[in-house]
């Protein structure tokens, strides 16, 4: 499972509140990703990181920010959550010099 | 731009039936192509991949061939089992493996 954990696993919050999701890996992989999964869209890339303090936007980055201050942690922040951000969020790592990703178990976020 | 289109589900089959899940893609450059599987309550797992035209990926009885001329990567299995019931995602990566694009997923139900 490439040593990926996500926290929290479930969260219910209210519109307008800030939310931070954490992805933690134990194997010092350089590349980390945040996706959201929605039934009608499948998985869509939010942001990704290619090293400490190095991040870039994906397809659906509006309303989300990320930070990576150390190799093992990649944080996803919703500055002011909206109901449209209700989703399941997956973190993934990619092995360097390969095209293979490994996914974490997911975080189910509900914004009321 | 890059995108993946896969057949809508759910697909319902009897055990030992032949499976095909269609996937077509649009891409610039020379993408790698993937099939991922997701079991209930879990993250995605890599099922198979192909990195260049005419490559065949295979794993656990599943196969898919990278067809550049038809921009397709259809998933096939000769005899499905109840344990194959899951959601299957087709995906591609850009040439640098930095960004990944997923289809919307196809749910497979296999009945005994």
Residues of A in contact with B45 (CB under 8 A): 103
Distance CA A60, CA A47 (A): 8
Distance CA B56, CA B65 (A): 4
> Exposed, middle or buried: residue A52 (CB in 10 Å: 0-12, 13-18, 19+)?
middle
Mean pLDDT of the residues in chain A = 93
A14-47: b or e for each residue (b if 16 or more CB lie within 10 Å)?
Answer: eeeeebebebbbeeebebbbbbbbeeeebbbbbb
Residues of A in contact with B104 (CB under 8 A): 39-42
Polymer length in residues for chain B: 112
Mean pLDDT of the residues in chain B = 93
CB pairs below 8 Å between A and B: how many?
Answer: 52
Residues of A in contact with B43 (CB under 8 A): 90, 92, 103-106
In the numeric block, the tokens 């201050």 are attached to A69
* Average confidence (pLDDT) over A96-108: 88
pLDDT of residue B99: 85
Strand order in the sheet with B75-77: B19-21, B75-77, B62-65, B56-59
Q: What is the per-residue pLDDT across B57-79, written as a single tens digit (0 to 9) for each?
A: 999 999 999 999 999 999 999 99
pLDDT-derived band at A12, boundaries 50, 70, 90:
very high
Tokens of A92: 């993934």
């Amino acid at each position: 499972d490439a040593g990926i954990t996500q926290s929290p696993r479930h969260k219910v919050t209210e519109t307008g509140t800030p939310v931070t999701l954490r992805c933690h890996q134990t194997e010092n992989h350089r590349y980390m990703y945040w996706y959201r999964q929605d039934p009608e869209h499948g998985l869509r890339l939010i942001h990704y990181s290619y090293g400490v303090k190095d991040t870039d936007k994906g397809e659906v980055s509006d309303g989300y920010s990320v930070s990576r201050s150390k190799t093992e942690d990649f944080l996803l922040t919703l500055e002011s959550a909206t109901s449209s951000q209700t989703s399941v969020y997956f973190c993934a790592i990619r092995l360097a010099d390969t095209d293979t990703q490994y996914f974490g178990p997911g975080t189910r976020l509900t914004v009321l | 731009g890059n995108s993946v289109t896969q057949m809508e589900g759910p697909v319902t089959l009897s055990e030992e039936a032949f499976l095909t899940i269609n996937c077509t893609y649009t891409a610039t450059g020379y993408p790698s192509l993937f099939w991922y599987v997701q079991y209930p309550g879990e993250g995605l797992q890599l099922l198979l991949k192909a990195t260049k035209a005419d490559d065949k990926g295979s794993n656990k009885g599943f196969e898919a061939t990278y067809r550049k001329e038809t921009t397709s990567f259809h998933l096939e299995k000769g005899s499905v089992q109840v344990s194959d019931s899951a959601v299957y995602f087709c995906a591609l990566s850009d040439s640098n493996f930095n960004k990944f694009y997923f289809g919307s997923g196809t749910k497979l139900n296999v009945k005994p």
